[in-house]
Structure formats: C-alpha cells, structure tokens
C-alpha cells in the first residue's frame, strides 16, 4: 500500500542532536557548554525538475545572557530546488526568524 507521502511525491526529514563544548578562554563566563539543536522539513516534488521545500531550524541558547538575541533560536525557511541536470541542482530559499531577535530578520539563500 502506498503511503500518503509517496502518493503526493513528498518526503520529510527530522534531525536532532546535542553539542558539548570544552571550557575555553573566549567568552568563558558567557558560554553555555551544552546546547540542543534540531531541524525538520518537508520536500514536495511539483514537476520533474522542481521541488518546494519548507524547513524549520532551531537550537537552545549558546550563551548565558538575558538578551533575546542570544537566547533560543528558531528559523523558518521556504524555498525550493531546480534540477539543472542529474549532477547539478540549484537551491533557493528565504529564511525568517520565528523567535523575534534570535537570528537575522530575513536571509536569502541561493
């Protein structure tokens, strides 16, 4: 039996992990020595050469600070891919910070 994702020519992904860093001299009093990171997304084939992509990326705070800009981060990217040949694909996206002030307001990928 064909799954809904196969029927709609779509796929998804999810990754998560943890980061542990050794003590260092640079910003030692502010650095977190551990953080969690994650991303998830959906990819939909819309034609033989075109895909649409939606991706969410985030991580826990990397620094000990009360500033929003140095807290948890969450970004939403919307874009796609165009297959130029079997060996070459062009990716493009626009990324927006979901948690205000945690990352760039808008980022363009190409």
Q: 26: which residues sit within 8 A by CB, 6+ positions away?
A: none
pTM here is 0.76
39-66 pLDDT tens trace: 999 999 999 899 999 999 999 998 888 8
Rounded-to-integer distance, Cα 76 and Cα 95, Å: 5
Strand partners, 94: 78, 108
Sorted by where each begins, the domain ranges of the chain are 4-109
The length of the chain in residues reads 110
62-102 pLDDT tens trace: 888 888 778 888 999 999 999 999 999 999 888 888 886 66
- CA-based nearest residue to 41, from 16, 19, 17: 16
10-41 pLDDT tens trace: 999 999 999 998 877 877 788 888 999 999 99
């Amino acid at each position: 039996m064909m799954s809904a994702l196969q029927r709609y020519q779509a796929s998804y992904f999810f990754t998560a992990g943890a980061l542990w860093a050794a003590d260092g001299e640079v910003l030692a009093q502010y650095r977190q020595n551990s953080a969690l990171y994650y991303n998830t997304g959906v990819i939909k084939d819309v034609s033989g050469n075109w895909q649409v992509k939606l991706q969410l990326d985030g991580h826990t705070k990397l620094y000990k600070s009360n500033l929003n800009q140095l807290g948890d981060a969450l970004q939403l990217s919307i874009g796609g891919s165009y297959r130029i040949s079997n060996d070459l694909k062009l990716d493009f996206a626009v990324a927006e910070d979901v948690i205000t002030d945690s990352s760039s307001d808008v980022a363009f990928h190409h």
